[in-house]
Structure 1
Amino acid sequence: MVHGAARTGDSTTTVEPIARECATFCRYLLNQEPEPYVVAKYVDGHARLGSRLAAEDDPAGWLVALACRGKFTARVVDTYTRVFRPASNFRRKITLLIAILETAPGTDARFRSAAPISPVAFLARFVPRALAFAAYLALAIIVIGPFDIA
């Protein structure tokens, strides 16, 4: 775990919550703990991007805290923000982490293009994922939607 402090915008925040956030989002995205390199880059990204990742700049910043509760809630929040809050703080944080993961040693291979597959194999993979997305979106609308009316 990374300890210390990082500058984010005009306020100093501790690194540990950002590192925990990184770990939760890595478990959600890759089903694995982040390497120290990934955590360090995520923390550094927060320090460099400052106010663009500050919760106080996002009226739906509470969604980040909800997503940090675990893989399941991260997926529900991700699904919801993909459709209803594409410019949210959560989406910016996930985008930052994906950019780090796709260039980090040890996780970069998981983001490279897969071998070509047949249309039948594509549908066999796509349809269950599309149905899962629809189910998560319905759940997110029911659970998050009422609290996100702004």
Structure 2
Amino acid sequence: MSYLIDTNIVSEIRKGERCDPRVAAWWAGIDGTDLHLSVLVLGEIRKGIERARRTDPIRAEVFERWLAAVEEHFAGRILPIDRRVADEWGRMIAIRPVPTVDALLAASAKVHGMTLVTRNLRDVADLGASVLDPFDLPTPPESG
């Protein structure tokens, strides 16, 4: 199974030891080659960098390095928005209003036969895409 990872999940994984244990356990149990990003996730990270740059240039540079690491980690597994995705997005937003990026991610996941991994289930519910919120998974047992 292949997964399309939303920004909120990539950001959670970035926390390292502070990452939610359910998300960390799910991530660790998946073959990395099954994890994909959309160019939209890179754009959302870029938006955060540019906002930070105005008030905290040092923090912006930390995020800049993180973005480069994310791009390297997902090299060859970053999906564009193409005509098929745009068509599916149009069908989805005709059902009900949905935030644009969330609907495009759901459309991309559906077109590519992937499961969208996101914390925003409410935004993409009932759009016909397979979705998973790893924050809703059972808490893994403590290893000792």
Provide the TM-score with structure 2 as the length reference.
Answer: 0.26
* Higher gyration radius (CA): 1
Pick the structure with more strand per residue.
2
**Higher relative contact order (CA closer than 8 Å, sequence separation 6+):** 2
